[in-house]
Structure 1
Amino acid sequence: MVAAVVIGIGIAMISGDDDDKGGNEAGPSPTATQETGEPSPSSSEEDKDKDEVKLPTVDAKALRLDGGATLASEFKGAKADGGVYVTGFNQVGSKVTWTVNGVKAGSYRFYVQYGIPGEDADATIVVNGKPESRPLNMQNFGNTPKGDWEKGWKETWANVNLNDGTNTIELVCAEGNKCNAVLDQFWLANPE
C-alpha cells in the first residue's frame, strides 16, 4: 500500500505540464529533470533503457574556452558551483566546447542556462564540427529590464543529433550572432 502511494506521488511529480513548446524554448532545469535516479514506469524496454541512463550536465566553467571567453562570478544567480559562469562570449570567435562521452546515437535536447542584460541574444551550435542551420535562441524570456544581469538568468534548448560514444558540442559567437550573454550550465535531455 505504501509503495503504491509513493509511486503515485512520484508519477504526479514527474508528469508536470505536457505542453510541447518546440525548439529553442525555455525548459526544465537540470535539477528538475535529473533529480531522481529512478526510472519512470514504462511499457517498453526501449523507454526503460532511456530512462535509466543519466544524461550529462556540466557547469560552463568546466568547458574548453576559446576566443576571449573567460570565467567570472560578478553577477549573482548562476546555478553553477560557486556561482562561476563564462563571460567574454560577446565577440565574434568566442566559443565554448563541451566534449560529451558515453551517449547513444540519437536526437537530444541540448539545454543552456544563460544570462542576458534584458536583451535578446543568439549563438551558433556546432555539433561534431558541423554548424546547425538555426542559431540557439537566447531570448529575453520574461522581459527582464534592460541592463539587469542578475534577473536575466534564463534557459533555452535546441535539438541536436549525436553519435554513439564521444561528441563535441560547441557554442560559438559567429559572424551575425548577437552574443551579449554569459553561460552558466549545459545539459542533455531526451526529447519529449
Structure 2
Amino acid sequence: MTPGNNGASTPEDDDPFGYLYADGQARGAQPPSGAGGYGYPNAVSRVRAVGERSYGQQQAPYGQPPQAAYGQGVPQQGAYGQPNAHYQAPETLPGGPPTGRQSMPSAGGGRRGPNTKGLLIGAIAVVAAVVIGIGVAMINGNTDDDKSGDQVGTNPTQSQAHSPSPSASKAADGELPKADATALQLVGGATKASDVKGAQSADGGYVTGLNQAGASMTWSIDNIPEEGPYTLFAHFSVVGEDQEMSVTVNGKLFGTKLPLKNYTHTADGDLSKGWTTTYIWPTLTKGSNTISVSCQSGDKCNALIDQFWIKKGQVKH
C-alpha cells in the first residue's frame, strides 16, 4: 500500500514537523508562520487552554458546565448549590434506605485498644491496699504508744525511789543503787544530824561524828547486774583542811582512800557552803556487795556525808 490523502487530517495524523519531509511537503505541509499554526493544511491546532480539549461535544467557557453534544443525551449539570434533577434519594431506591451505619474497620488490622476497665480496677486495688496499710500502721502505732505508756508508769522515777534500808539497798530494774547516808548502818560514834543546810538527802539529814577512830558507815547493796568496774560517788561537806577516809569493799581494804577535799575552797567554820562530790573506782561482783567508809588510823575524818550512789564503769560524774 502507498500513502495517500484520506482527506482532512485527524489529530492522530497531525505531524508538527511534516514540512521537513518530502511526503509532507507533497501533502502541503508548511513551516510555522505567525499565529496560523504549522503543519498540514486544515490541521487541528494543538494550542489550547488546559482542560478544553474534548471529543464529540462542544467546549464551554472555563468555569461553566459543559453542554451536551448535539445528538447526545449527556445531562446538563445544575448550578452550584442547586439540586440535581437526576438525583434520587436513598428512600426511593429498591429495598429502602440503609438500616444502620456500617462501622469502619479499626486501624491496625482489627487490634483492640487498651483495656481501660482493667487499668481502672488495678488502680482501685492499689489505692485500697495503701489505705489498709496506713490503717494497720496507725493501729499498731497506737498499741505501741499504749504499751510504752504503761511501761513508763510502772517504773518509778528517781524522785519516787524509796530510801534504802539500813541493812540493804535495792535499785529498780535498770538502775544502780542510791542511798542516803542516814539510812546506812552507823557505828563507832557516827550519828545523824540535820543542823547544816545544803544536804541532798530526802530528809535533809547527814552523818556526822566521823572524826574519831572506828567510826564507820556500812552500805549493803543488792542487784549489781554484772561483775566489773564501777564508780562510787559520795556527797559531802568539808571546810578548811582536806580530809580522807578508808574504804572497804566486800571485806577487803580498797587501795585508794575516799578523797574528801575542800574543792569549794570554803573558809573554816561554814560547812553549809562546803557541799561537793567525790568518787572512787571499786570493782564489784554480780549480785550483793558491801561497802564501808570508816575512819582508820592516819585518816582525817572531819567531814559531813549525806549520800552515796553507784554508776557503771569508771566515770567522773
SS in 1 for 2:203: helix
**In structure 1, how many angstroms separate the alpha carbons of the residues matched to 2:216 and 2:158?**
29
Aligned to 1:152: 274
Matches within 5 A, 1:38-187: 53-103=174-224, 104-187=226-309
SS in 2 for 1:83: coil
Q: 1:142: Cα distance to partner?
A: 2.3
In the alignment, is the contact (CA less than 8 A) between 1:118 and 1:152 conserved in 2?
no
Q: Give the root-mean-square deviation of aligned CA atoms.
A: 1.6
SS in 1 for 2:271: coil
In the alignment, is the contact (CA less than 8 A) between 1:102 and 1:164 conserved in 2?
yes
For structure 1, list consecutive stretches of 5 or more residues without a partner in the other structure.
1-33, 37-51
SS in 2 for 1:150: helix
For structure 2, list consecutive stretches of 5 or more residues without a partner in the other structure.
1-156, 160-172
TM-score (ref. length: structure 2): 0.44
Residue identity in the other structure for 1:58: A
Runs of 4+ in 1 over 6 A off after TM superposition: none
Higher relative contact order (CA 8 A, sep 6+): 1
Bigger fraction of residues in strand: 1
TM-score (ref. length: structure 1): 0.72
**In structure 2, how many angstroms separate the alpha carbons of the residues matched to 1:70 and 1:142?**
24
Q: 1:97: Cα distance to partner?
A: 0.2
Residue identity in the other structure for 1:141: Y
Residue identity in the other structure for 1:139: K
Q: 1:119: Cα distance to partner?
A: 2.4
**In structure 1, how many angstroms separate the alpha carbons of the residues matched to 2:174 and 2:260?**
28
Residue identity in the other structure for 1:98: W
My pick for the range that moved more, 53-62 or 111-120, is 111-120
> Which whole-Å deviations, capped at 9, do the CAs of 1:151-191 have from their partners, x for residues lacking one?
01110000011111111000010100000001110000122
> Which whole-Å deviations, capped at 9, do the CAs of 1:14-46 have from their partners, x for residues lacking one?
xxxxxxxxxxxxxxxxxxxx959xxxxxxxxxx
> Which whole-Å deviations, capped at 9, do the CAs of 1:107-146 have from their partners, x for residues lacking one?
1000000111332110011000101111111110021111
SS in 1 for 2:229: strand
Residue identity in the other structure for 1:62: A
